[in-house]
């Protein structure tokens, strides 16, 4: 069985290179050439096929009609020559034969042969009777017509073409036989003329098909070539190039789809350009913010922690010079208070840089502490906190949500002029959602982004997208809401 399968697969495997060459050749031919070739091939096959069928049918019909006419004529002629033969009127027999040949355009000859084998009369004229005709032996004609049952018929080829020879007995053969020869020359000429007419018609139809195919290919290739040209322009970076919409067909639908793709590409490029600009501005502001934060921390360290430590050093020096125990105790208490205040300042700076409670206790505790500090810093704003996180989140997700909520609350305190900030944080299956709302004045979100004043919003969006989430901002005269959703 394996050998049989291999034998069957071998011819198909050998045809693979030929198929590849054929498709390679067909693929290298233009659409115009393909359509013209198909039209010409179909026209030629149809025209030649119909011409051959018509010629074959006409040949059969004409030959059958010629045979029927020959049977009728020779039968009638055999009946008409009986009386002249019985009267031994050879001239009358000759006249009957001449009239028969003249009145039938396909008749080539006619002659009468006596029972003895002698030719009584014929129509060959001065050229003489061709004795070779006597050697042509007709055969019985197969017919159901009783009147033609004894007539014999045969065909042979001569200089005049195919000849049908009919032989009919005269007076049941007692007075001899009459023979009639009909040629196919005239019928062949009619068939050839009809064939030529049909071939000419096929040629005209082929020319009309070429014209129609040329027009059709022009209609088909014009939008395709325009689409190719537009594709080259788009490939070179001209995203404003558009393919013309020629008609509401498949090519028109393709042009519309291509134009929509170009629009989407242009929109994407504009969005990327806007993101690049916003990212540049964000980096600039981040660097500026870092430098400002460093300045603030340096100033805090110098003015707060530095002065406190200087006071501690001076106090320790003074305490070393005191002799009274009560005075030393009082000075020690004063230095302890300085140390406590210094420690509080250091912890505050540490929490501002990175809240340790976010790493130790999680996002819920960190946001609760930040809300307390936010309330103390902005005493005119009340904070409404609703946190529903049953378990810890990945560190990156917690940091992202903490910074987004922190930025949203800071923006509300700086720009909204509202007196309430609400924070809602909850987990739904594998997603964590956070909503920060205020009851302030609101602002034009898209206008701020177009004007390049949305660096904070862009930073929050970037943070959300970095962890696979998204962020939306809605604002009106009743306030602003920041929606963020990230995977848990």
Q: What is the pLDDT of residues 380-408, one digit of tens each?
A: 888 888 888 888 888 888 888 888 898 88
Domain ranges within the chain, ordered by starting residue: 32-193, 270-353, 359-488
The helix/strand/coil state of 163 is strand
330 HSE (CA, 13 A, CB side): 7
254-260: average pLDDT: 82
What 8-state DSSP symbol labels residue 301? I
Beta strands in 170-280 (DSSP E): 177-183
Sorted by sequence, the CB contacts under 8 Å of residue 317 that are 6+ apart come out as none
Closest to 262 (Cα-Cα) out of 236, 233, 242, 232: 242
pLDDT (0 to 100) of residue 144 = 45
Give the global pTM: 0.47
User: pLDDT value at position 56?
Assistant: 92
- 75-84, 119-128, 213-222: which has the minimum mean pLDDT? 213-222
Does 313 or 264 have the greater pLDDT score? 264
Quote the CA–CA distance of 470 and 481 in Å, as a whole number. 14
Please tell me the predicted confidence (pLDDT) of residue 477: 80
Could you tell me which residue, 7 or 42, shows the higher pLDDT? 42
Cα 187 to chain centroid, rounded? 57
CATH number of 32-193: 3.30.450.20
Q: What pLDDT is attached to residue 158?
A: 86
Report the top-level CATH class of 359-488: alpha beta
Q: Hey, what are 413's tokens?
A: 């305190």
Predicted confidence (pLDDT) at residue 203 exceeds the cutoff of 70: yes
Residue 300: pLDDT over 80: no
Task: Give Cα 13 to chain centroid, integer Å.
Answer: 31
pLDDT at 334: 75
């Amino acid at each position: 069985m394996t050998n049989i399968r291999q034998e069957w697969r071998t011819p198909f495997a050998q045809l693979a290179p030929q198929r590849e060459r054929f498709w390679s050749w067909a693929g290298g031919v233009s659409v115009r050439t393909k359509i013209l070739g198909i039209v010409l091939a179909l026209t030629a096959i149809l025209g030649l096929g119909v011409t051959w069928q018509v010629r074959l049918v006409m040949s059969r019909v004409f030959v059958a009609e010629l045979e029927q006419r020959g049977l009728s004529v020779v039968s009638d002629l055999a009946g008409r020559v009986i009386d002249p033969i019985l009267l031994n009127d050879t001239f009358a027999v000759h006249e009957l034969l001449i009239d028969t040949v003249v009145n039938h355009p396909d008749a080539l000859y006619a002659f009468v042969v006596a029972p003895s084998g002698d030719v009584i009369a014929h129509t060959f004229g001065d050229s003489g009777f061709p004795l070779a005709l006597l050697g042509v032996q007709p055969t019985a004609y197969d017919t159901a017509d009783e009147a033609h049952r004894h007539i014999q018929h045969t065909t042979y080829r001569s200089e005049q073409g195919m000849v049908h020879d009919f032989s009919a007995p005269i007076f049941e053969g007692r007075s001899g036989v009459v023979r009639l020869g009909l040629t196919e020359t005239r019928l062949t000429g009619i068939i050839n003329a009809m064939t030529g007419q049909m071939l000419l018609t096929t040629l005209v139809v082929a020319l009309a098909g070429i014209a129609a195919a040329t027009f059709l290919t022009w209609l088909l290739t014009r939008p395709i070539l325009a689409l190719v040209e537009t594709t080259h322009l788009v490939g070179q970076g001209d995203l404003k190039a558009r393919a013309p919409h020629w008609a509401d067909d498949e090519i028109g639908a393709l042009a519309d789809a291509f134009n929509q793709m170009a629009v989407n590409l242009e929109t994407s490029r504009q969005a990327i350009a806007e993101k690049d600009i916003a990212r540049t501005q964000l980096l600039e502001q981040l660097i500026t913010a870092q430098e400002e934060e460093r300045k603030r921390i340096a100033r805090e360290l110098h003015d707060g922690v530095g002065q406190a430590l200087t006071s501690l050093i001076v106090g320790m020096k003074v305490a070393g010079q005191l002799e009274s125990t009560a005075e030393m105790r009082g000075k020690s208490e004063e230095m302890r208070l300085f140390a406590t205040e210094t420690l509080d300042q250091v912890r505050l700076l540490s929490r501002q840089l990175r809240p340790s409670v976010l790493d130790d206790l999680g996002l819920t505790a960190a946001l609760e502490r930040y809300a307390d500090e936010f309330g103390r810093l902005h005493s005119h704003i009340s904070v409404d906190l609703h946190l529903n996180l049953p378990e810890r989140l990945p560190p990156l997700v917690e940091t992202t949500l903490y910074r987004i909520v922190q930025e949203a609350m800071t923006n509300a305190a700086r720009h909204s002029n509202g007196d309430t900030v609400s924070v809602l944080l909850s987990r739904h299956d594998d997603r964590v959602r956070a909503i920060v709302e205020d009851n302030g004045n609101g602002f034009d979100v898209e206008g701020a982004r177009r004007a390049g004043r949305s660096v904070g919003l862009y930073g929050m969006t970037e943070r959300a997208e970095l962890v696979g989430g998204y962020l939306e901002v809605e604002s009106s005269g009743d306030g602003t809401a920041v929606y963020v959703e990230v995977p848990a």
